[in-house]
Amino acid sequence: MILLGLFLSAPLVAQTKPIDTAHSVLTVRVSKSGLFSAFAHNHEIEAPIAEGSVTTSGATAVTLRVDARKLRVLDPDVSDADRSKIQTTMEGPMVLDGVRFSEIAFQSTSAQPAGTDRWNVRGNLTLHGQTHPVTASVTLKDGHYRGSAILLQRDFGIVPITLAGGTVKVKDAVEINFDIILAP
């Protein structure tokens, strides 16, 4: 009877599943501001997930890693030449500096329920060689963990790009959207 009681009171073993990196999507959206921002454009960046996992039972946890050198500027409304310039700037020392800081990583520290199949996931994001806390709102629907988080570039040592004497600027706030599917 004592053994049965110990077994029943033992915590359930956590179930960890890898992220299906081929079908999961992480998108970064960077907006513009400034007096002449109408002449500039917002940026949409694809950030392929290199690896990660989600623990779905017991203590919920999320880890993921992105290779900063594999981020791609999508910006469908600009010319190939402009997209190439934006890509070069993003990869360079003024923004991501992917040569020095090739890894972007997230490790959750807590996942608080926020309703049915909804959570506020808090964790540490390492970007540009610096680690800071971020919070993501997450919803589970049809096997997809979808959500978003906002981060400030300056928190990670990145100074937002300004052009034309500051009349066109990249906003400090960056929106990260994701659609994560777990491997079967």
Domain of 111, CATH number, reads 2.40.128.110
* 80, part of any domain: yes
Query: How many domains is the chain built from?
Result: 1
Q: Which of 143, 130, 27, 44 is nearest to 86 (CA)?
A: 44
Residue 74 phi, psi (nearest 5): -90, -45
* 1, part of any domain: no
* 9, part of any domain: no
Per-residue pLDDT, averaged over 57-64, amounts to 87
Domain range for 112 is 15-181
* 19-35 pLDDT, tens digit each: 999 999 999 998 876 44
What radius of gyration do the chain's Cα atoms show? 19
Confidence of residue 77 (pLDDT cuts 50, 70, 90): confident
* 32, part of any domain: yes
* 78-113 pLDDT, tens digit each: 899 989 998 998 999 989 999 999 999 999 999 999
* 172, part of any domain: yes
* 3, part of any domain: no
* 110, part of any domain: yes
